[in-house]
Amino acid sequence: MIINSVNTLFDQALTKTSLSEKQKKVLKASLLLFSKNGFDRTSTKEIAEKAQVSEGTVYKQFKTKEGILAAILKPFVKSVIPSAAAEFITALSQANYPLLEEFLTQVVQNRMEFAIENKLQLKIFAQEVLHDKNLAYTLKHEIGGELVVKMGLALKYYQKQGQLVAWAPQRIAQYIISTVMGYLVPCILLDQPLDVPEASKEAVEFLIKGLKKNSE
């Protein structure tokens, strides 16, 4: 059921034959240090030490410190939209989820699992978004835009069926995302575990109440 996991994603990158064992250790060390202390508060010397590697080795593959950041975030960002979008498409095309609740459960649970498993990258990404206005812009318009389009199709389906309130897809998407985030943020910030099944059950319960079409 879980399509993308942090291990899946990050280990995919690490499994690439193009990266030597040491380069992988560099990425792992950087992932931990960046997410814990932030990009700017992590020195390449620290990375080298944590990775048990020389500083020179750090620069063999990743030409600059920012190159390490990119190597960590790129596979993460690249997979966020496509895999999320895939779910909405699936919901529609195969009519696997006749009930809105089933659909929301699937989406919410899946995204929560993805986020928890990519907790560290997500935190690093959040740091970057706060620093880089361009990234924030891209996130909203390019990534968000694409997602809303795909999501819109699925939502319209449930709206037509009278299961979903007739608000704009963007607004509905925002509520879904922010409700899910409400569960994720504390556990990402504090590095705490999350009972995903329980959390997604709760989240869906609230979302269904808040988003279902009021029957008269």
Partner DNA sequence: CATGAATGAGTCTTCATTCAT
Partner DNA sequence: CATGAATGAAGACTCATTCAT
**What residues make contact with DNA under the rule CB under 7 A?**
20-23, 42-45, 53-60, 63-66
Task: Tell me if residue 212 falls in helix, strand or coil.
Answer: strand
Interface of this chain with its own copies, residues 183 to 212, rule: CB under 8 A = 183, 185-186, 189-191, 202, 206-207, 209-211
Q: Which is nearer to DNA, 66 or 198 (CB)?
A: 66
Q: Which is nearer to its own copies, 30 or 92 (CB)?
A: 30
Q: Which is nearer to DNA, 20 or 93 (CB)?
A: 20
| CA angle in degrees (0–180, nearest 5) for 170-195-146 | 20
DSSP 130-146: HH-HHHHHHIIIIIIHH
Backbone angles phi, psi at 79, to 5 degrees: -100, -10
In the complex, the smallest distance separating the C-beta of residue 96 from its own copies, rounded to whole angstroms, is 25
The span from the CA of 93 to the CA of 197, in Å, is 25
Query: Of these partners, its own copies, DNA, none, which one is at the site of residue 22 (CB under 5 to 8 Å by kind)?
Result: DNA
Query: Of these partners, DNA, its own copies, none, which one is at the site of residue 43 (CB under 5 to 8 Å by kind)?
Result: DNA
In the complex, the smallest distance separating the C-beta of residue 130 from its own copies, rounded to whole angstroms, is 5
The span from the CA of 58 to the CA of 75, in Å, is 19
In the complex, the smallest distance separating the C-beta of residue 15 from DNA, rounded to whole angstroms, is 16
Residue 78, exposed/middle/buried by CB under 10 A (0-12, 13-18, 19+)? exposed
Bridge-partner residues for 212, per DSSP? 164
Bridge-partner residues for 164, per DSSP? 212
Q: Please select the residue that binds its own copies; options are 3, 12, 20, 40, rule is CB under 8 A.
A: 40
Query: Of these partners, DNA, its own copies, none, which one is at the site of residue 129 (CB under 5 to 8 Å by kind)?
Result: its own copies
Residue 174 interacting with its own copies (CB under 8 A): yes
Report, in this order, helix, strand and coil percent for the chain, each rounded to 5.
Answer: 75, 0, 20
CB-based contacts of 144-150 (< 8 A; 24+ apart in sequence): 146/81, 146/85, 147/81, 147/84, 147/85, 147/173, 148/173, 150/85, 150/88, 150/89
Interface of this chain with its own copies, residues 122 to 161, rule: CB under 8 A = 123, 126-127, 129-131, 133, 136-137, 140
In the complex, the smallest distance separating the C-beta of residue 135 from its own copies, rounded to whole angstroms, is 9
Residues that bind its own copies (CB under 8 A): 36-38, 40-41, 123, 126-127, 129-131, 133, 136-137, 140, 165, 171, 174-175, 177-179, 181-183, 185-186, 189-191, 202, 206-207, 209-211, 214
